[in-house]
Chains A and B, each alone.
Chain A
């Protein structure tokens, strides 16, 4: 149990190849922190530097108060679950889980107690004598978790642990991981490219892109107040609508409509107006914020209905009442909820609103 601090951390492979740039995050004790971003954004490298599998080019990483830059991986007291699970193929499930404890020279009865305990939590009791190759993907994943749990580590690292599971199992394991985090009361750092995993599991989320940390915050915070265009587009499904617009006194003018802004921006400011699909509904509360949409595609999900279409030449997605009757080709009048409007500066891409 410990906090983790990334202090101006840089990872550079060659002079022109820097994969993590000035990374600063403080992860609190017992927190579930998710590092999320598109592939190649540096999130795995950031995790591997903490694990001691990659050297740190600049800056400091601290576990608790201890600077670990020059501490070997084996002495950092962290456990890691790999995407491929990395189970030792020649060892039984029991030995796989006992291995880290044997490395600590723990006594046999103590090892036995811990392995039995972990296998009970994970439902692996009946598989202890099997080799990994005789297990299903989900069971292997549990063994990998078990190998981490038995150690009672200071920090628990998970590198895309669910990406090799099928969709149904992934959903189940997501819930189990959250339970596990609650029961173990340990710091979890979880790397994923899947924003759904990030939103559902993280106490806080750190979003990275191109080696640069974009924003850190709670899922709700990041969803409602994205710091920039990248974060706004990365989090949320279907993605946020982006429409080029110009600020005028108290409102924003796009090609096909004009909306009042909750906060006034300097007149003539060019940028991107952002609003989530659920902000565009079939309830028109204010004629001033209405827009006419020519519908191209209708997606009925039962609980929701998404309309994909054009507003003044810009692509817009709307989430409307599933009972609303719409067909492709129709033109419908929709209302825009101005409370969840975002405006991004065209040059800096930062959120001004």
Chain B
């Protein structure tokens, strides 16, 4: 390996190591100095702004400004030079059910329902099933493991899982090999529009179920043991206890995890991009936006899709935050 470039950067490194803390310290000391100069009454109302100021500046510059920039751009044509009003939105939202963005919107709804429900259902199932067994930790670690893998890698793994050889040939894909054991012909999983969406969603569920399991498991363990004992003495069987006591008490957490998953489903990109790039009727909004931006160089339409996506996510986000606060308040 060539270290010369690294060595050439040593002065930069030193400047960063010394400079960043120095700037921070100067900011804090300077800010505090300015606050001291103010009359006593004003100090409490000014001081928080000094502290929160840098964060606000970062969020404003890297988040708020780009969102408004994108919204602005969505009103211009593909080169970004001439104002076209809402015509980009009209293009994206016309031609129902198969034109414009409609395939992508349909698939996002599909993701939203199946991805969310499946991850929640399996997460809850694993959380409950592993709760009282002695080998709980190793099992949970195993199920959580895919969370450590990047979604690009997950998509590649599942591409291999679904890989197809013509009937009669040895099947290298696990799924088709399994079909072979039961003397079934191999299927095209990813390339068949009838099942491609489901196949992609299964890959994403596999990657995400550990997340739901860990959080739901924590909620399950947060239920006091004597509540369950009380229910047992009160004459409830284990299934009734789950339905009447455990599930209602986990509900706030299930809702928070569920809305997080909904947001993820709306933003779904990497699995689709790697496995099909939106072909075979599997396109989603995020992938469509990326394709419009890179392949078509169409800034206006890409921005319009982005704004449609943001508009879909925001209500869920607000609901999620409210719910999260409600859960916290109940503690």
Q: Which A residues contact B (CB, under 8 angstroms)?
A: 51-53, 72-76, 78-80, 82, 84, 86, 88-90, 99-100, 103-104, 147, 151, 157
Contacts and interface: CB of A to CB of B under 8 A. Distances in A.
Given A82-B226, A99-B244, A103-B240, A73 B233 contact: yes
B85 interface: no
Contact of B229 (A53, A75, A89): A53
A71 to B, nearest CB: 12
A52 B232 contact: yes
Contacts of A74: 232-237
A151 B233 CA distance: 11
Nearest to B251: A90
16 contacts: A52-B233, A72-B232, A73-B229, A74-B232, A74-B236, A78-B233, A79-B233, A84-B224, A86-B224, A86-B226, A86-B227, A86-B229, A88-B230, A89-B227, A90-B248, A100-B234
Contacts of A88: 227, 230-231, 245
A323 B154 CA distance: 88
B222 to A, nearest CB: 11
Interface string B231-266: 111111100100011001101000000000000000
Given A82-B226, A82-B229, 4 more contacts: A74-B234, A90-B249, A99-B234, A104-B235
Given A84-B224, A86-B224, A89-B249, A100 B235 contact: yes
Contacts of B234: 74, 79, 99-100, 103, 147, 151
Greatest chain B CB density within 10 A among A51, A73, A84 is at: A73
A321 B244 CA distance: 61
Nearest to B228: A86
A75 B232 CA distance: 9
Contacts of B249: 89-90
B250 to A, nearest CB: 10
Interface in B95-150: none
Contacts of A86: 224, 226-227, 229-230
Interface of B: 224, 226-227, 229-237, 240, 244-245, 248-249, 251
Contacts of A89: 227, 249
A51 B249 CA distance: 24
B232 A53 contact: yes
A187 B40 CA distance: 69
A89 B222 CA distance: 13
Greatest chain A CB density within 10 A among B226, B227, B230, B248 is at: B230
A144 B323 CA distance: 30
A103 B236 contact: yes
Given A88-B245, A90-B249, A80 B233 contact: yes
B310 to A, nearest CB: 35
B233 to A, nearest CB: 5
Contacts of A157: 233
Nearest to B249: A90
A60 B236 CA distance: 24
A95 B224 CA distance: 19
A78 B235 CA distance: 9
Nearest to A77: B235
Contacts of A90: 248-249, 251
A82 B228 CA distance: 12
Contacts of B227: 86, 88-89
A192 to B, nearest CB: 17
Contacts of A80: 229-230, 233
Contacts of A84: 224, 226
A73 B235 CA distance: 7
B247 to A, nearest CB: 10
- Smallest CB-CB A-B distances: 8 pairs: A103-B235, A86-B230, A100-B234, A73-B232, A86-B226, A74-B235, A90-B248, A80-B233
A78 B234 CA distance: 8
Nearest to B244: A99
Contacts of B229: 51, 53, 73, 80, 82, 86
B331 to A, nearest CB: 11
A100 B237 CA distance: 11
A53 B229 CA distance: 7
A144 to B, nearest CB: 8
Contacts of B226: 82, 84, 86
A90 B245 CA distance: 8
Nearest to B232: A73
A90 B244 CA distance: 10
A88 B230 CA distance: 9
